[in-house]
Structure 1
Amino acid sequence: MRPVLLRALVTAAVALPFAAGAAATPASTAEEGTEVVSFTDPDIVESSGLAVVGGRFVTVNDSGDSGRVFAVDPATGDTVGVTSWTPDPVDVEAVAPAYVDGEAASEVWVGDIGDNRAVRDSVEVLRVPVGWEDATVEPARYELQYADGPRDAESVLVVPGTDQLLVVSKGVLGGSFYAAPEQLVAGQVNVLEPLAPALGVATDAAFFPDGRHLVVRNYGAAAVYTYPGLTEVGSFDLPEQPQGEGIAVDPDDPGAVLLTTEGPRTPVLRVALPADVSAAMAPESPDAGSTDTPDGGADADPAVDPADDGPGWLPWIVGGAGGVVLLVLAVTLARGSRRS
């Protein structure tokens, strides 16, 4: 019985912070979501990011896959083109639309930014073309390094019309927004500077077409922020998914988001924003019209140390403390078992 008890304690210790964080009630509850289409490609097994480029859904698998992006027909769910490259990445976690001279391009930014143990001295983003057929390419590569030390992250998003990258770290006690230089330079380290707190356990993020708002998701909720102020204007629950990781704004309806999850042949869901969140984003809204900047305006959000707690930090701390207690109990029982 004791090994079973030990396994149960360890499992509970890992799950408790996430359960406690999810228990924090967001401002709004979204609809359950409408299935747009399901991926038919058996090679798409861990969709970890989502972008809409040229009328196609573009996604990438989580860590462990080779270097490739999938272009999917949104009408059928069939893969219509796979763009591949070598060498294989370390841990791809994100994909975002790219721009050329302010206009959307048939390219995406791929974020090789996963770092579960926060040990990578630097991470990498790649600019990869996508199309309606298979191709092998040599993408442009750019090395990124956090100004304040390694961070795990799964979210890359691009400021519309500028091609400047933002990264959202995946902090359990609250993440942080980071800004890359406006112009990345290949062959040298490009420093990511911290900007402001972000939703905890962020798994993906995307800009709205207005360029004044962005959305960040985790496994069970999403939050909308102003840009460049990075002030949260509202949050809402997401439909239950096996391991929801991808989000994009519906190009046909900026009042809705598209969601993906890990797993084989999984659906893409469309979820309308709650009315109060949409209202907070309206041009006449004081929050929506904010012109504060995170790097020095009078009303700016201060630059943040990602060690600081982000929004909703209390449930995560309580859950984390409970998890520590359970782990200590498991270790104590294990040591007692070895002595007996």
Structure 2
Amino acid sequence: MRWNRKYLLFLPGILVATGAWAQENMLFGYGQPKGRITSTEINEASGLIGSAENAGFFWTHNDSGDAARIFLIDDSARLRATYYLQGIVARDWEDIAMVKRSERNYLLVGDIGDNKNRYPFVYVHLFEEPTGNGATKRIDTIPKENITTFVMKYEDGPRDAESLFFDPVDDYLYVIGKRELQAGIYRTILPEIPTDTLILKRVGTIPHTFVTSADIRADGTEILMKNLLGVFYWNRKRTESVPQALKRPAVILPYRPEPQGEAIAFSRDGKGYYTLGESALGLNAILYFYQRR
């Protein structure tokens, strides 16, 4: 999502709809800057996920208009590796997630942005997580034959979304709608071998809007979402599905508003969460860490 002054007109409504004026819960501390994005290649960071294969590192990608590539950054926001997805078109990439299958870690990139609700299909690309070399700035390619693309459509028609995550407990892919005042929760199974178009079924709503990113903890016990002004948290009970957990009111967590905060992710060790925004309004994007108290 690109910065646009018209969003300022929606801020009061977003504050009311998200409860961003509610008192913050101090389960996590306030955001501490870890580093700023200095690479000119990362100019619209739109997704973020902690790396499983590269401890202490993160994967991110740009929003629409960029090549089909992902970036490996360290916890100081320095670019360490770039991987291009061969044969893939990046129409409007919005979020990135992690999947574990047969003891291997895979990344999921969601081409799910649709500002005008005009695309009949959206796409999710799955591929094994690369093992980067933190000592050198690497550029590499993920071959087309190593990428699985899932074609999806919503059961209730096209819509804009910027958030997805894969639940390691129930093995569903979840996509969260963006522009509705009550954001829709959609899900689908990801088969081992893609065949027909997958249907994203609506399984609930949350009383929040303009959701720009989401993540689930590696063990499936906690869920995070954010919009431009707030961070929302759910502690999932052992017997709950994701839709059941999201029926409860979210806990409002500390958040340092960014020029255009697009991305959020748990640390792999669960000791906190990170946020990353786009380089907007002439300001650098900063990687913030919110430590669990």
TM-score range (shorter-chain normalised) is 0.7 to 0.9
Structure 2 CA distance for partners of 1:32 and 1:75, relative to 1, 3 Å: closer
Q: Is residue 109 of structure 2 the alignment partner of residue 110 of structure 1? A: yes
Q: Is the 8 A contact 2:115 2:160 kept in 1?
A: yes
Q: Which of 158, 162, 166 is the equivalent residue of 1:154?
A: 162
* TM-fit CA distance, 1:251: 1.9
Corresponding residue for residue 46 of structure 1? 44
Cα deviation 1:272-291 (Å, max 9, x = unaligned) = 35x7xxxxxxxxxxxxxxxx
Corresponding residue for residue 34 of structure 1? 32
Q: Is the 8 A contact 1:220 1:237 kept in 2?
A: no
Corresponding residue for residue 220 of structure 1? 229
Relative to structure 2, which stretch is displaced further, 263-272 or 172-181? 263-272
Q: What is the TM-score with the length of structure 1 in the denominator?
A: 0.70
Q: Is the 8 A contact 1:142 1:184 kept in 2?
A: no
Corresponding residue for residue 135 of structure 1? 141
User: Is the partner of 1:155 in helix, strand or coil?
Assistant: strand
Corresponding residue for residue 288 of structure 1? none
Q: Is the 8 A contact 1:97 1:104 kept in 2?
A: no
Corresponding residue for residue 288 of structure 2? 269
Q: Is the 8 A contact 2:14 2:210 kept in 1?
A: no
Structure 2 CA distance for partners of 1:97 and 1:196, relative to 1, 3 Å: same
Q: Which of 263, 267, 276 is the equivalent residue of 1:260?
A: 276
CA distance in 1, matches of 2:221, 2:98: 16
* TM-fit CA distance, 1:116: 0.6
* TM-fit CA distance, 1:98: 1.9
Structure 2 CA distance for partners of 1:11 and 1:159, relative to 1, 3 Å: closer
* TM-fit CA distance, 1:185: 4.8
* TM-fit CA distance, 1:233: 4.2
* TM-fit CA distance, 1:222: 1.5
Cα deviation 1:85-141 (Å, max 9, x = unaligned) = 22422111110112113x451x31000000011111110000134331422421110
Corresponding residue for residue 204 of structure 1? 213
Corresponding residue for residue 12 of structure 2? 19
User: Is the partner of 1:49 in helix, strand or coil?
Assistant: strand
Structure 2 CA distance for partners of 1:235 and 1:255, relative to 1, 3 Å: farther
Which structure has more helix as a fraction of its residues?
1
Q: Is the 8 A contact 1:26 1:236 kept in 2?
A: no
* TM-fit CA distance, 1:160: 2.1
Structure 2 CA distance for partners of 1:207 and 1:76, relative to 1, 3 Å: closer
Pairing 1:286-325 to 2, within 5 Å after superposition: none
CA distance in 2, matches of 1:238, 1:116: 25
Give the partner amino acid of 1:70: F
Q: Is the 8 A contact 1:71 1:131 kept in 2?
A: no
Corresponding residue for residue 248 of structure 1? 265
Cα deviation 1:305-325 (Å, max 9, x = unaligned) = xxxxxxxxxxxxxxxxxxxxx
Paired residues in the alignment total: 261
Q: Is residue 197 of structure 2 the alignment partner of residue 178 of structure 1? A: no
Which structure has more strand as a fraction of its residues?
2
Cα deviation 1:257-301 (Å, max 9, x = unaligned) = 10000017522101135x7xxxxxxxxxxxxxxxxxxxxxxxxxx
User: Is the partner of 2:189 in helix, strand or coil?
Assistant: coil
Structure 2 CA distance for partners of 1:16 and 1:150, relative to 1, 3 Å: same
CA distance in 2, matches of 1:104, 1:166: 20
User: Is the partner of 1:180 in helix, strand or coil?
Assistant: strand
Structure 2 CA distance for partners of 1:185 and 1:34, relative to 1, 3 Å: same
CA distance in 2, matches of 1:73, 1:238: 21
Corresponding residue for residue 3 of structure 1? none
Q: Is the 8 A contact 1:26 1:221 kept in 2?
A: no
